């Protein structure tokens, strides 16, 4: 369990001194205040006729309408009382505001609404003294306009601790008192426990930085339907199948047919003088694709195949296409090629459908004749669909079915479609994964020519089956990178936070356009490092030794909760990238972490708040310095109902027992479709979502 170092005090303390005189004044002031309140309370009680003496409320704030009035006329630091002869203390002439205490053309640039105000104070007698800080808004000319209430006293000022003569006194303005993008001015007055200085210090103007994140969002829709992830799984193009020679093979007798062209040949038919050769060649033509699509009779295993002219995969479906099987006959006479070549060819379409819950693999091949030389008379194809290694999966040859004969004669242009089922052999073993390579082989032979065979394999369509992601066996095309989409309608603030961090930070976690996928980190027992993802979260969103969450103690207090949806809703810390990834800022680099930080304090800080019913905003936390946009992680304070619900289905149906079977270090994309109109290229990010 991580402990949280306490933050600095957010406001000024009451005046305290170690000298006997000042202790006496402090005690006297405190006692008189208590007695006065008791007396006032008793009087009020008697007036009300209750007969019970109760303390009166604190005096209401009375703004100072005359900034030049004598400090002693508003004795916030204590009563002026000349308890001994002495000189009056004096404020310094150069008050300052920060952080970072940078003066630009006479205006201090402050990077947080929790401004720190400073000035020196001197007492001619060498006594300790404090300063009263009074802040005003400014008019168009930069002059004091309206006093800002900095605390709950009637004076609305902050009083520093006592400091030694000649030293600097300071206060920190509490959160919520100052607004971003506004220019203020302040001055100070000194008090030594008995005397005030006669005049205020010079004025010092300061400006609070503007917000750099303002994303306008709708109200969360508790009844919004779940996201259909399949709508976002775009087919991923893969390389075309590679040929494998089928032994025995002979070199082509025709020197014009080079082996580098992919031809694999059979033996010469001594009676007819024809040597058979075969190969597969790419064919991305629209005509071939149209012929295949039109010819398909059985229900497609991948109903999106018709859209693409070459090979693609999804997580459980594949469409291997865009190539022809060619069978040719080299005519030979007196031992020499005559130059005549007989040609026959078929457009080939191949589909796979995997089961993520049974380990079953369905395969389908479609053959559409393209050419057939009449001198062949007829050509017969023998098609085998199988695993490269029979020990990896079993092929149920009894399940093989063909619609259409595998023999073609001159003038016959019928289509043949075949289907078969394979089953992973390791499906009964727990915590196992295995790679399977499926292959297809076609042997062509004619009435006048011997057999010639070729085998092919789509290497990028390698299949991984496992019982790790789920106790049930399941198979996926592991090179396909799936896409995770969060439910914007239901949890808009969490989605906005993810988009902001992905879009703005240089590491772009989960961005497909940037080529920066998320790398999945499953539970400790299922990753190579036995590393619990909760340990990542503990770095970014730690709990204190008292068990209180970071968001409850240190999160922005303006984060809006949703008790109308969840009565027990509490503030929550949302991190991006997710804790269950190697991209998480909490993931140690020593075990593959990509963006390690030592604390969530190093992340971009934001919070989600409702500004009025129906309108929410994701803001940067103005209590902190503005993001540099060089950070590698994000931390946001928001409703616990929003944060916890936003990952519904993850890992669950997405990474675990569902369709996608993510294992340790598997890649996936994170997409934010509702934000695709937003511009993240500027230093300040402003957007309305959905698009206005």
Question: CA 687 to CA 583: how far, in whole Å?
Answer: 26
pLDDT at 559: 98
Q: How far apart are the first and last CA of the chain?
A: 45
pLDDT at 33: 34
**82 pLDDT above the threshold of 90:** no
Quote the percentage of the chain above a pLDDT of 70: 90
The residue among 10 and 308 whose pLDDT is bigger is 308
Q: What is the pLDDT of residues 550-572, one digit of tens each?
A: 999 999 999 999 999 999 999 99
* Lowest-confidence region among 49-63, 183-197, 324-338: 49-63
Q: What is the pLDDT of residues 499-554, one digit of tens each?
A: 999 999 999 999 999 999 999 999 999 999 999 999 999 999 999 888 899 999 99
pLDDT at 257: 73
Question: What Cα–Cα distance (Å) separates residue 42 from each residue in 32, 38, 50, 153?
Answer: 15, 6, 10, 21
Of 298-302, 636-640, 659-663, which has the strongest mean pLDDT? Answer: 636-640
Mean pLDDT value across residues 170-195: 97
Q: Under a CB-based contact definition with an 8 Å cutoff, are residues 574 and 494 in contact?
A: yes
Q: What is the pLDDT of residues 280-326, one digit of tens each?
A: 998 877 777 777 777 665 568 998 888 888 899 999 999 998 889 99
pLDDT band at 6 (very low <50, low <70, confident <90, very high): very low
Angle (nearest 5°) at CA 554 between 549 and 555: 85
Output the six-digit token pair for 520.
């999945």
**27 pLDDT above the threshold of 90:** no
Q: What is the pLDDT of residues 227-256, one digit of tens each?
A: 999 999 999 999 999 988 888 888 888 877
Give all strands (DSSP E) within 531-645, no chain letters: 571-576, 604-612, 615-620, 634-639
By CB atoms closer than 10 A (0-12, 13-18, 19+), residue 45 is: middle
pLDDT band at 54 (very low <50, low <70, confident <90, very high): very low
Quote the percentage of the chain above a pLDDT of 90: 76
Mean pLDDT value across residues 7-25: 35
pLDDT band at 55 (very low <50, low <70, confident <90, very high): very low
Q: Which residue has the tokens 């140690």?
A: 588
Q: Are strands 130-138 and 158-159 parallel, antiparallel or unpaired?
A: antiparallel
Q: Is 380 helix (H, G, I), strand (E, B) or coil?
A: strand
Question: What Cα–Cα distance (Å) separates residue 365 from each residue in 236, 421, 475?
Answer: 20, 12, 20
Backbone φ and ψ for 306, nearest 5 degrees, come out as -65, -15
Q: What is the pLDDT of residues 104-128, one digit of tens each?
A: 999 999 999 999 999 999 999 999 9
> Average pLDDT over the chain, rounded to whole?
89
The CATH homologous superfamily to which domain 20-210 belongs is Purple acid phosphatase-like, N-terminal (2.60.40.380)
* Lowest-confidence region among 44-48, 178-182, 653-657: 44-48
pLDDT at 297: 57
Please, where in the chain does CATH 2.60.40.380 lie? 20-210
Chain-centre distance of CA 350, in angstroms?
A: 36
pLDDT at 299: 63
pLDDT at 84: 62
**259 pLDDT above the threshold of 90:** no
pLDDT at 532: 98
Close Cβ partners of 592 (under 8 Å, ≥ 6 residues apart)? 519, 529, 582, 665
Mean pLDDT value across residues 21-50: 33
**675 pLDDT above the threshold of 90:** yes
Backbone φ and ψ for 501, nearest 5 degrees, come out as -70, -45
Mean pLDDT value across residues 8-31: 34
pLDDT band at 42 (very low <50, low <70, confident <90, very high): very low
pLDDT at 392: 87
pLDDT at 37: 34
Question: CA 677 to CA 690: how far, in whole Å?
Answer: 9
pLDDT at 40: 35
pLDDT at 685: 98
């Amino acid at each position: 369990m991580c402990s949280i170092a306490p933050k600095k005090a957010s406001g000024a303390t009451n005046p305290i001194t170690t000298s006997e005189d000042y202790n006496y004044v402090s005690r006297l002031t405190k006692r008189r205040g208590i007695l006065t309140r008791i007396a006032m309370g008793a009087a009020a009680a008697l007036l009300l006729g209750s007969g019970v003496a109760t303390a009166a409320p604190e005096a209401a704030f009375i703004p100072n309408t005359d900034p030049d009035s004598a400090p002693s006329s508003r004795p916030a630091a204590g009563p002026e009382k000349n308890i001994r002869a002495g000189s009056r203390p004096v404020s310094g002439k150069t008050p300052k505001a920060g952080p970072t205490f940078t003066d630009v053309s006479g205006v201090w640039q402050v990077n947080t609404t929790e401004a720190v105000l400073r000035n020196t104070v001197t007492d001619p007698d060498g006594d300790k003294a404090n300063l009263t800080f009074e802040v005003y808004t400014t008019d168009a000319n930069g002059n004091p306009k309206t006093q800002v209430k900095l605390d709950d006293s009637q004076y609305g000022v902050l009083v520093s601790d006592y400091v030694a003569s000649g030293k600097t006194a300071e206060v920190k303005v509490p959160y919520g008192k100052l607004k971003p993008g506004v220019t203020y001015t302040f001055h100070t007055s000194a008090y030594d426990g008995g005397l005030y200085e006669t005049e205020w210090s010079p004025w010092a103007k300061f400006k609070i930085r503007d917000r750099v994140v303002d994303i306008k969002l709708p109200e969360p829709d508790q009844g919004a339907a779940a996201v259909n992830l399949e709508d976002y799984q775009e087919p991923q193009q893969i390389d075309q199948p590679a040929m494998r020679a089928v032994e025995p093979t002979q070199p082509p007798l025709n020197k014009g047919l080079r082996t580098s062209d992919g031809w694999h040949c059979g033996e010469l038919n001594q009676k007819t003088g024809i040597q058979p050769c075969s190969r597969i060649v790419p064919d991305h033509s629209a005509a071939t694709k149209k012929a295949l699509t039109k010819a398909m009779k059985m229900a497609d295993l991948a109903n999106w195949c018709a859209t693409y002219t070459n090979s693609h995969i999804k997580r459980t479906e594949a469409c291997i296409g865009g190539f022809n099987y060619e069978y040719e006959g080299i005519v030979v006479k007196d031992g020499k090629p005559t130059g005549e070549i007989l040609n026959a060819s078929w457009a080939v379409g191949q589909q796979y459908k995997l089961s993520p819950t049974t380990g079953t693999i369905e395969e389908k091949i479609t053959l559409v004749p393209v050419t057939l030389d009449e001198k062949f008379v007829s050509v017969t194809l023998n098609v085998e669909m199988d695993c490269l290694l029979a020990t990896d999966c079993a092929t149920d040859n009894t399940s093989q079915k063909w619609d259409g004969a595998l023999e073609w004669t001159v003038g016959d242009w019928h289509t043949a479609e075949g289907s078969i089922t394979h089953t992973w052999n390791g499906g009964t073993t727990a915590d196992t994964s295995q790679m399977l390579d499926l292959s297809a082989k076609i042997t062509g032979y004619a009435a006048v020519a011997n057999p010639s065979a070729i085998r092919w394999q789509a290497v990028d369509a390698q299949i991984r089956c496992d019982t790790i992601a789920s106790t049930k066996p399941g198979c996926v095309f592991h090179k396909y990178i799936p896409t995770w989409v969060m439910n914007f309608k239901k949890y808009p603030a969490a989605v906005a936070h993810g988009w902001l961090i992905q879009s703005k930070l240089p590491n772009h976690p989960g961005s497909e356009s940037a080529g920066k996928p998320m790398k999945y980190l499953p539970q400790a027992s299922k990753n190579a490092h036995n590393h619990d993802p909760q340990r990542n979260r503990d770095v970014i969103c730690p709990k204190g030794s008292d068990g209180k969450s970071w968001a409850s103690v240190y999160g922005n207090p303006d984060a809006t909760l949703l008790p109308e949806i969840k009565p027990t809703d509490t503030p929550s810390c949302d991190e991006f990238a997710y804790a269950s990834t190697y991209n998480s800022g909490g993931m140690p680099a020593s075990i593959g972490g990509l963006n390690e930080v030592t604390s969530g304090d190093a992340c971009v800080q934001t919070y989600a708040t409702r500004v009025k019913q129906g309108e929410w905003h994701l803001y940067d936390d103005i209590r902190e310095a503005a993001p540099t946009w060089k950070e590698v992680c994000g931390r946001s304070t928001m409703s616990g109902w929003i944060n916890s619900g936003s990952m519904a289905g993850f890992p669950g149906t997405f990474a675990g027992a569902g369709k996608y079977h993510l294992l340790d270090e598997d890649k996936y994309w994170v997409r934010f479709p509702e934000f695709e109109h937003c511009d993240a290229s500027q230093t300040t990010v402003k957007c309305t979502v959905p698009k206005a």
